[in-house]
A and B are shown apart, each in its own frame.
Chain A
Amino acid sequence: MSAHTHAHLHVHIPKVRTLVLVWLALICLTGMTTAVSYLELGWMNIVIALLIAVSKASMVAWIFMGVRHTTSLTKLFVVAGLVWLGIMILITASDYNTRNWTYQPMPWANNPAGGLSK
């Protein structure tokens, strides 16, 4: 086997303090999201719940999974995955949310002026 050239691996080792702080924040946010769910805030409930979940997830990704030290390519991949999930949900939702905009059962039935004649 031919000789290999070895580049040095550059490894970012997180501090214990950082990890523990993130853990603490995650636990607090879990308590918070539970508490807020008992308040009557209308549509704000789900918005807050999702905001908290997104920030928790970002912390796990950014620190625990080390996204902050990865290459921009990896970051691009992560973003692409989320964008694709967004595409799926948003476009599908666009169907469900506009289905009844102009729904008229058998429009010709009560529209003598136009449409199909009987």
Chain B
Amino acid sequence: MAVIELHDIVKTFGATRALDHLDLTVEQGEVHGFLGPNGSGKSTTIRVLLGLLRADSGSATILGGDPWRDAASLHRRLAYVPGDVSLWPNLTGGEVIDVLARMRGGLDEARRREMIERFELDPTKKARTYSKGNRQKVALVAALASRADLYLLDEPTSGLDPLMEAEFQEAVHEVRAEGATILLSSHILAEAEALSDRISIIRAGRVVQTGTLAELRHLTRTTVIAETERPPTPITAVPGVHEPVMHGNRVTFDVDSDHLDAAVAALAELGVRSLAAHPPTLEELFLHQYGEEVSA
């Protein structure tokens, strides 16, 4: 049974249409990447799921209940990390963690200790002195230290350094192994790829693609920069290769991820001197797939 089911959701703020007939399904036990550029409606979707916002139309189910009507009882079973974490300036990080956990109905002491240690958080500091990253850690510890069936994480790593991001990924894997469902929003493709079982891509308030990573492979292109011994002209004939640019024996091209194998084989035939490849950014993805500029 699906843990989250949104169907045909519309939400407007005055003249702004934040969600435009949005559909989203998240299955039990999966990490679902919710991917979209800034302002595409990720936070609005999550707030509708929390019953903080009331959808203008459409149907919404979360953990088998109505997010607006049954908000309080549903919230016993979920944990939330907001995108822009704001904490009570005169409470310490440790106090905030306890307050939220108690309001949620209890906390796992061992997990609390472990998470604080893991994220290297000083719980005795007043929240007003925390950096954005540290405020985010407080919210993460508060969410992860309580055992929930569903975690709604809104761009949870946007203030974390790479080391902490790795800790975060580890924690997500553990929580998932225990059977929880996670909705993880992000505007960075690589992050969603690293964690998610399935991904939904949202754009201008509408989900434009949903699927497993394998299913979405055809969407993603890898940019390859290579230098070969012989002139790299034959590469242009490989299916799935786009926009090759050649300077002597140097070639730069994009290749559909499901044709990467053939392209690399073709390069090997020509004698590879140097090779660099990088996955596409979300912006490149949109540019290629929809031929539109993504406004940040």
Q: Do A and B bind? A: no
Binding site for B on A (CB under 8 A): none
